[in-house]
Amino acid sequence: MIRVIHNVAEMQRFADEARRDDKAIALVPTMGFLHEGHLSLIREAKQHGSEIVVSIFVNPTQFGPDEDLSAYPRAFEMDCQMAESAGATVIFSPDSNEEMYPEGYQTYVKLEELPNHLCGLSRPVHFRGVATVVTKLFNIVKPHAAVFGKKDFQQLLVIRRMARDLNFDVKVIGAPIVREPDGLAMSSRNAYLSQDQRKQATCLNQALRQAAEQVKSGVTKVGDLVNAAAALIREQPEAEIDYIEIRDPETLEPVSIVDRPILMALAVKIGKARLIDNMMLEPT
């Protein structure tokens, strides 16, 4: 049976014992409502440890005041079953926000440059919340390795940078994006979509694939690629583009020509769901 831990001190004791027994701990941080994307991270984590800890915590500090914190979908029992079947050995799920942010809490981790791009612009407190909660999870779960999805590409860069800058002795692993058969990146937020919006949502991946093909056939100007992607997305009646950007995959700084593998990332609102996706564009 998978072990479920709801409190910080108990999780730390468990981690200390595992380390004393020379077991490697691998962590998969999530906000729950698990899907095949999360399960792929758990399977990857099994390559890096024997205690596989899945954290489930809808972290309030990474949501802005007008975002979907209270509406965020939850399914704890189902999550435990799915995580166990994928090979998790422990669920760490703090039983309240106060368990993670007790009264008087005032310490945050903030990166200087990476959050000033892409999602960081439309979600100003987001990456501060992510860096803070991941720091706390590293200190609570004491993992040797932690696995993050490339679906949240900017988040992965933020965590990698933070781990390096703050000397966390944790191997940060990036795992590929898992998609639905029609290309839509799996996301807990896809649950917000009506049937019709779900069909429209395939435009994110279609726009990325179109750009990847254009690059393969010799189009290199970022302006042309972005315009073509925007035109494709605007065909969908409810799609509202937040951003479409083509950026250096390490610094996220703008580029004007795709002359090497470059990141294309986009965020589109469809109804209540803000969806993100990305792909590397690789010239031949």
Does 277 help bind ligand AMP (rule: CB under 6 A)? no
Using the minimum distance from each CB to ligand AMP, give the nearer residue, 58 or 281: 58
> How is 28-79 classified by DSSP, letter by letter?
EEE-SS--HHHHHHHHHHTTT-SEEEEEE---GGGS-TTSSTTT----HHHH
* 225 versus 275: smaller Cβ distance to ligand AMP: 275
Show contacts with ligand AMP in window 36-75 (CB under 6 A). 37-38, 40-41
- Which one of 74-82, 174-182, 220-228, 247-255 is the stretch in contact with ligand AMP (CB under 6 A)? 174-182
CA nearest 274: which of 195, 189, 205, 186?
189
Q: Which residues of 191-215 are buried (b: 16+ CB within 10 A; e: fewer)?
A: ebbeeebbebbebbbbbbebbbebb
DSSP E strand boundaries for 153-238: 171-175
Residues numbered 193-212 forming contacts with ligand AMP, rule: CB under 6 A? none
Distance of closest approach, residue 108 Cβ to ligand AMP, in angstroms: 18
Contacts to ligand AMP from residues 177-196, by CB under 6 A: 177-178, 185-188
**Cα(225)–Cα(215) distance, integer angstroms:** 8
CB of 152 to ligand AMP, least distance (A): 4
Residue among 24, 5, 124, 16 at smallest CA distance from 66:
124
Residue 137 in contact with ligand AMP, rule: CB under 6 A: no
Establish how many alpha carbons lie within 13 A of residue 16's alpha carbon, considering only the half-sphere containing its beta carbon. 6
Output the smallest distance, CB 163 to ligand AMP, in A.
14
Looking at the chain, the number of H-run helices and the number of E-run strands are 10, 9
Contact call for residue 149 and ligand AMP (CB under 6 A): yes
144 catalytically annotated: no
CB of 13 to ligand AMP, least distance (A): 25
Count the Cβ atoms, other than its own, within 10 Å of residue 25.
24
User: Minimum distance from CB of 32 to ligand AMP (Å)?
Assistant: 6
Binding site for ligand AMP (CB under 6 A): 30-31, 37-38, 40-41, 148-149, 151-152, 175, 177-178, 185-188
Active site residues per annotation: 38
